[in-house]
Each structure stands twice: as C-alpha cells, then as structure tokens.
Chains A and B, each alone.
Chain A
Amino acid sequence: MLALRSRILRAIRQFFDARGFLEVETPVRIAAPALELHIDAMPAGDAWLRTSPELHMKRLLAAGCERVYQLGPCFRQGERGDRHHPEFSLLEWYRTSADYLDILAETKALIAAVAEAALGRTWIKYRRTHIELMPVWEVLTVAGAFRTFAGWNPVESFDADRFDLDMVNKVEPNLPTACPVVLMDYPAAVAALARRKPEDPRVAERWELYIGGIEIANAFSELTDPAEQRARFEACAAERRALGRPVYPLDENFLAALESGLPSASGIALGVDRLVMLLADAASLDDVLPFRDA
C-alpha cells in the first residue's frame, strides 16, 4: 500500500512538472478558512487548520503565477466515514487563461498517467466492477442526472435540503460505473467559488468527477469578481451564524488579491486518498491511510 501510494504521488508530481506547473506550499495554519456552509475548520490555537489551500493558491495566481499545484494535508472537523477522514491529502492545481473544460481535459490526462504509472494499465477493477478509465468519460449535467435519478430539476427550483439528500441517496448510487462520470453545471446556489455560466446564469461552471460512484474531484471556473465573492462570503457567514456554526473572518488578503485583479482562471481539488483507495481496490479510506483516527 505504501509503495502504491508513493508511485501515485510520484506520478502526480511528474505529470505537473512536465506540464510546466510550479509545485507550491501554502500555510497549513491559517487565520481565515474559506467560508463554506458545510465545511468546518479545526481550531489550531488562535487560528485554524486549512480545509483547502484554495484561497492562497488563487493569491499566487493574482501575484503572477500561471500554473501552480500543491499536494498536502487538509483538515475538516467532524468528517469521519468510509470515504472521509478528518485529515486527508488534497491535490489542488490552478491555471490562468483556462476554464473548467480545460481542467477537465487535464484531469483526464492526469488520471490516465497516474493509473499507467501505478498499475501499468488504464482500467481498474473496483469492488468487482470493471472500470475503463480511458478514453470515454461520461458527462452528465446536474439537471439531467437529477431529472433521471431523482425526478426533479434543481436548476429550475432549488431545494438545498432535498438536493444533498437526493444527491447521496438517489443520484450518486445510480451513476454509471463502467467509466468515470462527470457531473457538470451545478445550480448557482451551490456554486461555492465557481463563476456563473455566461450563457445560463442559473448554473455555475463547476463539475465533480466520480469514479466507481465515488466522488474524486471538484473543479471550477474560478469566480474572479471581488464584489460577488465578498457577497457570497457574507451570505455564507450569515447562514452559518443562523445555523449556530462557527463563523470565520473574511479573508481580506484574498479579497484584496481579487481587487488587484485575478486573471481568468480555473482550478480543481482532488482527493488523493480516495484515488489511492480506488487504484488499490480498497473498500474504505481506513484501508489506505497508514495512520488514522479511531
């Protein structure tokens, strides 16, 4: 398992190094975790542990970097299950002058390169299901997948509670598994840090990758508008306050970076432990993490 993980990490670094990406390290202990409704940060003294390096990575783009990637630990409070562990390894990469479809093409190339390096082939057997990682990835819109598997369209009328519940209990279990699947164009209400689609502002340019029914990565065309970003953070802070969850300060350094001008960019976060789990045909993250919480 350690050898497989090491091969996967090396393949990831080789992939990005060959494409002219800069490997970076950003702070793990931070003053202002990104405000998201359902992601809780772990306190670390008078600061927090990062839930993702996203905001710092985008500050690097604003500062002039064009291609950056980072591999490292992230922490999320209260997440413990077969596919969740409070400390986990996240791969994030960001590119300027790219949108979420460019990142999709790059992700496909990465998955192929990693599988080839780790296993010597581009198919896997996961929990008795044969999955061809190449060349076809099935792309479904979120609206289409919900219409088919849950019987309603969250883009036309959004219901947050029902959306999450149906996503895990009706949509995800029924996604095709013969090849990787991409769920694309999320309702604007769950845009997070994605920009709205210019030709249909009801949806955000965001996609998620599923392999074998397991969510592996989340990508955006990045929101670069500082006013809308601040408004989203403030709305999220208000919602968290109403729910009685901790509210983190706004990352003013990040917002200042957007003010100074973030070029059009796209980025992605990919769960490395889950990728190892898939390539190792392991049932749970517990089987691939060398050290884990009880």
Chain B
Amino acid sequence: MYSASDLRKGLRVEIDGVPFVITDFNFVKPGKGASIYNCRLKNMITGATLTRSYRSNDTLNEPKLEERTMRYSYKDGDEYVFIDKNFEQLTVRAEVLGDNRFFLVEEIEVTILLHNDAPIGVELPTFVEKTIVETEPGARGNTATNVLKPAKIEGGYEIQVPLFINQGDVIRIDTRTGGYSDRVRTA
C-alpha cells in the first residue's frame, strides 16, 4: 500500500486492478491549502495515459508485478510459448507481444513482465537478426543508405531497408523502433 507522499516518477501503482506507472509527478499546494499530488499515469497493459490528483489521505495499492527471464521456444497458433531455465513454460498471447511478435527468434532471451501472474509485456533484446524473405532486387553497386524500399521478414512484417538489401540477406532490427539497423550478412 502506498500513501500519497510515496508517489514519485517511475513508481508502479494499481488503480482498479490495473497496473499503472507514474510518468510525470508534481507536488502542489495552494496557499494555506491541502497538499495535492498530481500524477500522469500510463496503463502498463494498454499504454493509455490518464491524469489523477491525489490527496494526503489517499492510498494506492502496490501491483503484484514480477519479471521473468525466459527463452522463446515456439509459436502455437496465436500464442507464443516461452520457457525458463527450469523448463517451466509460459504462454503469451499475440496481442500482449504486439509488433514484438515479429522479432522473436528461437532461443532468444526475453524479459516477461507479469501482473498477478498474467503476462502483460515482453521486453526483447535491443537488436535481433532477421532474414529478408521478400524484396524487390536492389540496384547493383548502390550502397546509399538514405534511399529506402519495402521488404518483408518472416511472419510478413514489412520494414523499410536500403536499396542494396536483397532477398535472403540477414539484417539487424532495432526492436525499440521496429526499424532497420544494419546488414549482418548477404545471401
């Protein structure tokens, strides 16, 4: 249980059973008036933000959050199965992964955030390597990186890549932006 005076930027709290993280915090107090703790909060599941004002006597629950380090194992329909070092399995639905589902690579190590034992987010390594499965042939000798063309990786995720990238090339993707980073090797 948190009291209003515990609130600060970065703190994770629970509102109506939903975990939120405080993204902005301000202590205000009108002359001779009551302390007011103004917060901007981000819903840790949907990403939606809201603002709330708390008073000295308000309390907030501490969300039951857990981080688990696991490896990606396989995909089963709309579900993704992860396994930890004790061979315990955890299934994550596609909507929890969002675009991150396209960046999964077998045996990749991820951090899964759980709220009340249910997965709500999967954090990937910053860079993952993926093979281009489809793109128009690039112009030979064109090594310019500022001209881009569409390309597809396994799973159908479309990404903008430089002209010199060809089908079968392995590229590195920045999972924070979902964008092209560099070429690892050619086909």
Query: Which A residues form the contact surface with B (CB < 8 A)?
Result: 36-39, 78-84, 160-161, 163-165, 167-169, 172, 190, 192, 208, 215, 218, 243
Contacts and interface: CB of A to CB of B under 8 A. Distances in A.
A243 B57 contact: yes
Contacts of A172: 30
Which of B26, B27, B30, B55 lies at the interface centre, i.e. has the most chain A CB atoms within 10 A of its CB?
B30
B114 interface: no
B98 interface: no
Contacts of A39: 32
Interface string B48-70: 00000101010000000000000
Contact of A218 (B5, B31, B35, B57): B31
Considering the complex of A and B, which 3 residue pairs feature the smallest CB-CB distances, nearest first?
A: A81-B27, A164-B33, A167-B30
Contact of B36 (A82, A168, A190): A168
Contact of A82 (B5, B26, B33, B55): B26
19 contacts: A37-B34, A38-B32, A38-B34, A39-B32, A78-B5, A81-B26, A81-B27, A81-B28, A82-B26, A164-B33, A165-B36, A167-B30, A168-B29, A168-B30, A168-B36, A169-B36, A192-B32, A215-B30, A218-B32
Given A78-B5, A82-B26, A208 B31 contact: yes
Given A169-B36, A172-B30, 6 more contacts: A79-B27, A81-B28, A82-B26, A168-B38, A168-B53, A190-B33
Contacts of B27: 79-82, 84
Contacts of B26: 81-82
B29 A163 contact: no
Contacts of A82: 26-27
B35 A165 contact: no
B29 A38 contact: yes
A164 B34 contact: yes
Interface residues of B, number: 16
Interface of B: 5, 26-36, 38, 53, 55, 57
Q: Give the interface SS of chain A, mostly helix, strand, loop or mixed.
A: mixed
Contacts, number: 56
Contacts of A192: 32
A168 B28 contact: yes
Nearest to B28: A168
Nearest to A76: B29
A165 B53 CA distance: 8
B33 A83 contact: no
Contacts of A36: 32
Contacts of B35: 38, 78-79
Contacts of A79: 27, 29, 35
A281 B38 CA distance: 23
B131 to A, nearest CB: 49
A163 B30 CA distance: 10
B33 A163 contact: yes
A37 B55 CA distance: 14
Nearest to A172: B30
Contacts of A163: 33
A172 B38 CA distance: 14
B31 A84 contact: no
Contacts of A190: 32-33
Contacts of B34: 37-38, 160-161, 164
Nearest to A160: B34
A43 to B, nearest CB: 16
B171 to A, nearest CB: 42
A279 B36 CA distance: 26
Nearest to B36: A168
A38 B55 CA distance: 11
B59 to A, nearest CB: 13
Nearest to B5: A78
Contacts of A38: 29, 32-35
Given A78-B5, A169-B53, A243-B57, A215 B32 contact: no
Which of B26, B28, B38 lies at the interface centre, i.e. has the most chain A CB atoms within 10 A of its CB?
B28
Contacts of A165: 36, 53
A131 B21 CA distance: 37
Contacts of B33: 38, 163-164, 167-168, 190
